Amino acid sequence: MKRIQISPRDLVLASVFAVGLLVFIFLAINQWTQFTLAIGDLRLEEERSKTLAMDKEYLIRLGEKEDALLEQMISLEEMMPAEAGTSKLINYLNELLVKGNFHALQLDTHEFIKEDGYYAIPIKIVFEGEYEKIILFLKELRFGSRPFKITELYMDRNDSLPSKVHCEILAHGFVDSKEK
Amino acid sequence: MRRYKFYLATFILLLMGVIIILPIVGIYSIKVNTRLHAIKNRNKAIEAYIQENNIPLKALENINRLETLVEKAMDKTQDWGQYIMILGESRPNEVIIDIIKTGLEEDETVLTIDGRAQSQGAVTAYIAELEKSDALESIKCNYVRQIASQGGYSAEFQLIIYMGQVEQFMLDRGGAYEENTN
A156 touches chain B (CB under 8 A): yes
Give the whole-angstrom CA distance, residue A39 versus residue B28: 10
The residue of B80, B178, B179 whose CB has the most chain A CBs within 10 angstroms, and thus the best one to mutate to test that interface, is B80
- Coil, strand, or helix at residue B170? coil
Contacts of A100 (CB under 8 A, 6+ apart): A129, A133, A134, A136, A137
Give the whole-angstrom CA distance, residue A69 versus residue A38: 42
B69-105 pLDDT, tens digit per residue, is: 999 999 888 889 999 999 999 999 999 999 999 987 7
Confidence of residue B180 (pLDDT cuts 50, 70, 90): very low
Q: Say how many CB pairs under 8 Å bridge A and B.
A: 181
ipTM comes to 0.75
| Least confidently predicted of A30-34, A46-50, A92-96, B10-14 | B10-14
| pLDDT at B178 > cutoff 60 | no
| pLDDT at A166 > cutoff 60 | yes
Give the whole-angstrom CA distance, residue B86 versus residue A141: 18
Confidence of residue B168 (pLDDT cuts 50, 70, 90): confident
Instruction: Check A157 against B97: CB less than 8 A apart.
Output: yes
Instruction: Check B15 against A137: CB less than 8 A apart.
Output: no
Interface of A with B in 18-77 (CB under 8 A): 18, 20-21, 24-25, 27-28, 31-32, 34-35, 38-39, 41-42, 45-46, 48-49, 52-53, 55-56, 59, 62-63, 65-66, 68-73, 75-77
pTM: 0.74
